[in-house]
Amino acid sequence: MSSPLQLRIELDAGSGFCFGVVYAIELAEELLAERGYLYCLGDIVHNDEEVRRLQRQGLRIIDYEQLAVLRNETVLLRAHGEPPSTYQRALENNLTLLDASCPVVLKLQNRLKTSADRGEDIVLFGQPGHAEVRGLLGQTRGQALVIEKPDELPAQPLPTALTLYSQTTKQPADFDRLRRALEAQGHTVRAHDTICRQVSNRDQELRRFAQRFDQVVFVAGTKSSNGRLLHQVCQEANPQTHFVSQVGQLAPAWFRTGQSVGICGATSTPRWLLEQVRDELAQF
């Protein structure tokens, strides 16, 4: 695709929603078409543009406080997964749950619960407060230790034997760094690499993609941890990488006549938004 600046624009074929998000959004759209409205616990995906699109169709985003007083309604659970307390609240309030939890996350939740029931001391490599991590912690009754950065181990002494899991959207190299850091402190670590490969493989794919262009436009929501991570990957591969969350943030001044431009995004970035960015660049 060419533009008045004669930019050579290419949209990354692998960018767009992961399968877990695709399922959640398709389920939401189906119910919205039938009913005209639908409650969703938390943002259905960490992308404001996609959330606003679905809100225009009738999606109603609620938080845990609102869930606590909601009665006799249908509520969508997004792909990130939920703690047991959410299901208990639904029973108490006569709520019908549409569970769109990602199968990869559900499998991890079951493994965490099994470890917790065995009395294992669990370390979870993840982002504190993240929706997925909240659901994972619930499987351990809040007893797992969450560590976000491999080089920031807690000051307090840890048990000698540890069971290590990971939030599904982390990077394998960072998970391995944390394992080695714990072992260097003298711990025996039973490590379970529970990272989703559809997400983690994007690292190398995007690195190769970004290196092919004069300029890269990376599209993601500001709330997306996956977006922050993959944007960093692109920037390392190509310093001429620009982060945008919406079309209006694009600037013609970034580009020179005849340059090649690659467009890519996070696993929480809708394909339609990537295409909008492509079409806008074609006008420059």
Q: Which of 82, 120, 132, 148 is catalytic?
A: 132
Q: Indicate if the alpha-carbon torsion angle 101, 102, 103, 104 is positive or negative.
A: negative
From CA 7, how far away is CA 258, in angstroms rounded? 5
H/E/C letters for each residue in 30-55?
HHHHHHCCEEEECCCCCCHHHHHHHH
Q: How far out from the chain centre does Cα 23 lie?
A: 14
Contact 8, 255 (CB under 8 A): no
124 Cβ neighbours under 8 A, 6+ residues apart: 112, 133, 136, 137, 144, 145, 146, 147, 164, 165, 166, 167
For the chain, the C-alpha Rg in angstroms (whole number) is 21
Does residue 132 carry a catalytic annotation?
yes
Catalytic positions, written as ranges: 132
